[in-house]
Structure formats: C-alpha cells, structure tokens
Amino acid sequence: MLDPRLCRSFLAVAETRSFTAAARRLGVGQPTVSQHVRRLERDAGGLLFARDTHTVELTARGQAMLGFAQTIVDTEERAQRHFRGAELRGRVRFGVSEDFALGELPEILHRLRRSHPLVDVELTVELSDVLAQRLRAGRLDLVLGKRRPGAHHGRLLWREPLVWIGSAATVLEPGQPVPLVQYPMPSITRQLAVEVLERAGLEWRAACQTSSLTGLRAAAAAGLGVTLHARSLVPADLTELDGLPEPGDIEFVLLARESMEGPAAALAEFIVERVRRDS
C-alpha cells in the first residue's frame, strides 16, 4: 500500500518539475518533499525522477507511477468527502479575464472538479471591467480579473510587469504613429497603452480592434501592430518588443460578492492556493 502523503509529494514534483515549487504548493519544507520521494522510490523499487542541478524529469518507473499515485490520492479524497457527510453541491457563476482563461484556468477548474464533483460552473470570459460590473449587478458570484495599479477593489493576488508584444518581425517606423492592436473599451490594458504613449509624446493609431484574445494574437502575429500584455501570460507565438515607453505593472485580483459561501468559497480557495503555489 502506497502512502497517500508520499503520492501527493510525488505528484507535485511531477507536475512542477521542481522540488522547491512542489514544497511551496504543499506548504511544507523542501527536505520533507525530498524525503517523501525517497521513501516512495524505496517502496517502488527504483528511481522515479532523473535529476541534476538544473532539471527534474520522470523516469520510466516514474511515468508508470503517475496513474497509480493519482488514483490513490483521488480515492482518499473521495473517502474523506463521503465520511465527512454531504458533498458540496450547487452552482458558481465565475467570471474570468480571457488572458487568464487560456493559461491557469484549466488547472483550477480541474482541481475543483476533482474535489467537488457535484459543483457546476457557469463560466463567463470577458474584459475585467465588464466582469466587475456584472458582479455588482448580482449576475456573477466570483471574478478573477485585472485592475490598474493604485485601485483598491478586490483582493490583490499578484502584481507583475506589463510588456509590449508583437510579432518578432514587427518593425516600428521612427516618426510614425505606433500601431496598436486593441481590445474595445473598457479594456484596462488598452487604456494603459494609450496613456503610456501619450505621456511619452508619441502618436498612435488603432491598427486593429478585436473583442477576443484569439483575434488579438492573430493580428499581432500578422504584424498589424503591438499591444500590452502581462509578462507571465505572453502567448508563445508573440514576443516582447523593445523601443517603447516602460508601461508599468498590472494587478490581478479576486472579486466576490459580500456574502461568499459554498461553491464560490471553494473555488476562491483553489484560486488563492494556485496563486500562492506559483508565487
């Protein structure tokens, strides 16, 4: 019988490819994670990870362990829910900004489904200010979005630099207006891009306007113009560009209705846990 504690540490290392990141995720010290993996390797009869000073990779034995470890952890969680009594159920109306939806959201929803399979999610992907308005109107229960630095609404999750991005082949002609690929108003990054350029005395033009991140990426990749984006969420087919004014930071926040409980509270817990793990 494999110890579920050891399996959790193994899975965390397998997902993050880092003993340090796994320890942060689990809220324990790195020596504890290393000890758990060594004990699991002893029980499994061989190495589960091939590791050196720079990389951590699964061995063939480790690949085989993945399914068994996940099953053990899932079974323990189901047993805990069963013997604690009635499982959490209901619906959470969740709004999320599109750039985050294409990044961290699937992992958060996956963990919610594993832990609370009877919770249904009504997902809305929109601009952050639009989501905040819907929350105030009582049409959403929880929002993960962005805010301008200096704003105070919502719970601050993390702050990071904005960067100018575009195609690697993008060339900005000196003396010509900066071509912007923009979301429609009330996009926060659009407002900040315009303010940054105007403070620097640079002219700009709306080279393309689109209401979706897919459209924005396509336009920027085609070389139509440049746009602002949070550094950690830059799409793989675009690149940071130099030569434009420093745009500053953007803040990611969690907004909720005054009374948050049940499914909304459970989802908020997973979001905060994910952010804490990656910070």
Task: Tell me the H-state helices in 27-183.
Answer: 30-44, 60-84, 98-101, 105-115, 128-136
pLDDT digits (tens, 9 = 90+) for 141-184: 999 999 888 888 888 888 889 999 999 888 888 889 999 998 88
pLDDT digits (tens, 9 = 90+) for 208-240: 998 888 888 899 999 899 999 888 888 888 899
* CATH number, position 127: 3.40.190.10
State the residue range of the domain holding 183: 159-251
Which residues, 6+ apart, have CB-to-CB distance to 188 below 8 Å? 127, 128, 129, 146, 147, 148, 250
- Which residue is associated with the tokens 């301008």? 148
96: phi then psi, degrees, rounded to nearest 5 = -145, 140
* Residue 39 confidence (pLDDT) above 90: yes
- Domain check: are 258 and 151 in the same one? yes
- Domain check: are 97 and 43 in the same one? no
- Domain check: are 129 and 119 in the same one? yes
- Domain check: are 34 and 139 in the same one? no
- Domain check: are 167 and 199 in the same one? yes
**How many residues are given for the chain?**
279
pLDDT digits (tens, 9 = 90+) for 60-107: 999 999 989 988 988 887 777 666 645 678 889 999 988 777 777 888
Q: Which two tokens stand for residue 121?
A: 């999610």
pLDDT digits (tens, 9 = 90+) for 45-64: 999 999 887 889 999 999 99
Percent of the residues in the chain that have a pLDDT greater than 90, as a whole number: 36
Q: How far apart are CA 115 and CA 94, in angstroms?
A: 17
Of the candidates 50, 84, 118, which is a domain's last residue?
Answer: 84
Cis peptide, bond prior to residue 177, ω within 30 of zero: no
- Domain check: are 101 and 211 in the same one? no
Burial (0-12, 13-18, 19+ Cβ within 10 Å), 61: middle
- Domain check: are 109 and 225 in the same one? no
* Residue 258 confidence (pLDDT) above 80: no
Q: What is the pLDDT of residue 193?
A: 92
Confidence of residue 202 (pLDDT cuts 50, 70, 90): very high
- Domain check: are 19 and 30 in the same one? yes
* Residue 279 confidence (pLDDT) above 70: no
